[in-house]
């Protein structure tokens, strides 16, 4: 039986997947998701750095993503760079479950989006995002 946090993560991922068809790269996607998380007062960190395959044959720099408590990552743009393949992590996931992909970066101050800019960046798709309320318990495993 999944924990309440796991259930919340699954619901949140389903909501965020409404942004999949946005024609934006990782930086703007990070700002849009941060905007959505701020609306529900969800603690998170915007991260900037690079992502590398463990065999060092391919890397993406710069790369932006969201870090959630308990080590979860929110990344809807990894497949943009590594291919649309089920083996490529997508959505909300634990990086430890995908050891081939190595994230390295630091927290950055998020770009504060106005609702109108978030809508423009997402071609209006942000209106289709339905996130669950912030979990009542602290975010942990």
Asked if the structure places residue 98 within a domain, the reply is yes
Asked if the structure places residue 139 within a domain, the reply is no
Q: Look up the domain containing 58 and give its range.
A: 4-128
Nearest-CA neighbor of 134 among 5, 26, 19?
5
Query: Is residue 75 a contact partner of residue 69, using CB atoms and an 8 Å limit?
Result: no
Query: Is residue 20 a contact partner of residue 57, using CB atoms and an 8 Å limit?
Result: no
What value does the CA radius of gyration of the chain take, rounded to a whole number of Å? Answer: 14
Confidence (pTM): 0.92
Tokens 């900037």 sit at which residue?
A: 48
Pairing state between β 101-108 and 45-53 = antiparallel
**Amino acid 59: pLDDT:** 87
Number of domains in the chain: 1
Asked if the structure places residue 136 within a domain, the reply is no
**Amino acid 134: pLDDT:** 83
Asked if the structure places residue 66 within a domain, the reply is yes
Ranges in the chain, pLDDT < 70: 1, 137-141
> CB burial class (10 A; 0-12, 13-18, 19+) of residue 102?
middle
Asked if the structure places residue 116 within a domain, the reply is yes
**Amino acid 141: pLDDT:** 46
For the chain, strand residue ranges (E) read: 45-53, 59-67, 73-75, 91-93, 101-108
Asked if the structure places residue 140 within a domain, the reply is no
Asked if the structure places residue 9 within a domain, the reply is yes
Asked if the structure places residue 141 within a domain, the reply is no
């Amino acid at each position: 039986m999944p924990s309440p946090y796991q259930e919340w993560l699954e619901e949140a991922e389903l909501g965020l997947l409404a942004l999949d068809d946005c024609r934006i790269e990782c930086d703007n996607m990070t700002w849009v998701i941060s905007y959505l998380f701020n609306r529900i007062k969800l603690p998170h960190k915007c991260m900037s750095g690079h992502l590398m395959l463990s065999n060092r044959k391919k890397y993406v720099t710069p790369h932006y993503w969201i870090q959630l408590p308990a080590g979860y990552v929110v990344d809807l743009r990894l497949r943009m760079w590594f291919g649309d393949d089920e083996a490529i992590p997508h959505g909300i996931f634990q990086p430890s479950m995908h050891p081939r992909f190595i994230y390295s970066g630091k927290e950055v101050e998020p770009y504060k989006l106005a609702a109108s800019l978030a809508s423009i960046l997402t071609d209006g798709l942000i209106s289709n995002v339905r996130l669950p309320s912030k979990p009542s318990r602290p975010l942990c495993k």
